[in-house]
Chain A
Amino acid sequence: MIELDARRLMCPMPVIKTQNAIKPLLPGDKLRVFCTDPGVLQDIPAWCRINKHTVLLAEERDGEYILTIEVGNE
């Protein structure tokens, strides 16, 4: 599991960081993104849907938003 720190960044920066972190990964790899902007709960899943990745888990913990993503086939 690869972890990405996108705390204190406002959207769309966490989406851009996620996109760039996924680029070198292979299908089936997993990425966990840590954010503080609640907007990621909308934007990262939207970005994942259009790019055929899967959000396995989106949770709020101690004021942070943590998304676990499985890289898709495209």
Chain B
Amino acid sequence: MATQRKAVALISGGLDSLLAAKVMLEQGIHVEGINFYTGFCVEGHTHAIRKKDKAKPKRNNALWSAEQLGIKLHIIDIIEEYKQVLLNPKHGYGANMNPCLDCKIFMVGKAKEWAVENGFDFIITGEVIGQRPMSQRKDTMPVISAESGADDLLLRPLCAQNLPETKPEREGWVNRAELHGFSGRTRKPQMALAEKFGFDDYAQPAGGCCFLTDKSYSVKLTDLWASRGKRDYELDDIMLLKVGRHIRPKPGFKLIIAREEGENNFLQGYKKQFITLMTMSHKGPLTLLDGEASEEDLQLAAQIVARFSQGREAQSVDVQIAEKGVNKLITVKPLAAEGILPAWRV
């Protein structure tokens, strides 16, 4: 009896990785999924902090994919290790702060390590030649295989017929003729294959699965580094970049102002770590102050917060400033709308 071969599949939660894993299962391969959490993943519920998003069904698409496939999924926290990928990408960034090629090399490399540790034979991804401008090109695919250390143990079932044979194909572990030759940005072949397999409620994130591909998020991240004078971050930093209005009236401090109830609730969890401002005489958003602020700065911060409260047209608004368990109340005149300079908005 032939040995059943085992493949570890990189599962992002999108359609391509779902299909790639299914193609392997159809060939009798034992497949288990691996999903890496960088802290920048759109997956999970970080995108559903806002109350308006709560009406939408919430699910982790990687878990959903694994459940559809009937395979195990191993979710790996790579937040710390990923810093080096983001801060020093050998192959540079894409349109925003997305180090897509280095990211893919890193993840395939981690999957290779996992495969060796767990007795798996090869690695599969849902990559398609030409699908993504940075990491999924004909000339970058061999770079990923080589620099990740996976070499010819990396199989891309959706475009394998356009690439040189890998070991799983050469050794007859999988049948190359039953793999695919997809290429380009069109999604039609994937959608047809999804229909054939009976997948219909799959995720199709418009901006990909990573906040680093988002222009607005990338601007906030570079602003954070510039204000601190160093390129580094903690998980809380990058979580907070996803939430609220970010206003930097002075280089030394920034305000993170909740835009609605869901964000207000989320920011409550950070009250012990930050100076917080809250309007007391009128309804208004919870605001975190990130950085160092003098008394004069706090006055300006309170005027800005008052501008975003229901007392924006009032002559005076009471604002509570809380720092390390000590509360003080100040009364300010809300800043005029034109007082919030466009350059302050991050």
Contact = CB atoms under 8 A, between A and B. Distances in A.
B37 A47 contact: no
Contact of A12 (B66, B72, B75): B75
Given A10-B239, A43-B60, A16 B76 contact: yes
B46 interface: yes
Nearest to A40: B45
A16 B62 CA distance: 13
A13 B60 CA distance: 12
Nearest to A20: B77
Interface in A33-56: 36-39, 42-43, 46-47, 49-51
A11 B63 CA distance: 11
| Chain B interface extent, by class | 20 to 34
Contacts of B67: 46, 49-50
A11 B44 contact: yes
A49 B45 CA distance: 19
Interface in B50-71: 58-60, 62-64, 66-67, 70-71
A6 interface: no
Contacts of A13: 37, 44, 77
A2 B170 CA distance: 48
B44 A39 contact: yes
Interface residues of A, number: 19
Contacts of B71: 50
Given A12-B75, A16-B76, A47 B63 contact: yes
B60 A12 contact: yes
B37 A42 contact: no
Given A39-B48, A39-B58, A42-B58, A50 B77 contact: no
Given A12-B43, A19-B74, A50-B71, A43 B63 contact: yes
A74 to B, nearest CB: 8
A26 B141 CA distance: 41
Contacts of B64: 46
A16 B66 contact: no
Given A47-B63, A50-B66, A50-B67, A39 B75 contact: no
B45, B73, B76 pick with most chain A CB within 10 angstroms? B45
A39 B64 CA distance: 13
B279 to A, nearest CB: 23
Nearest to A46: B63
Given A11-B46, A36-B269, A51-B72, 6 more contacts: A10-B46, A12-B62, A39-B45, A43-B45, A43-B60, A46-B64
7 contacts: A10-B45, A11-B45, A16-B37, A16-B75, A37-B45, A43-B59, A46-B63
Q: 8 nearest interchain CB pairs?
A: A39-B45, A11-B44, A46-B63, A11-B45, A12-B44, A43-B60, A50-B66, A16-B77
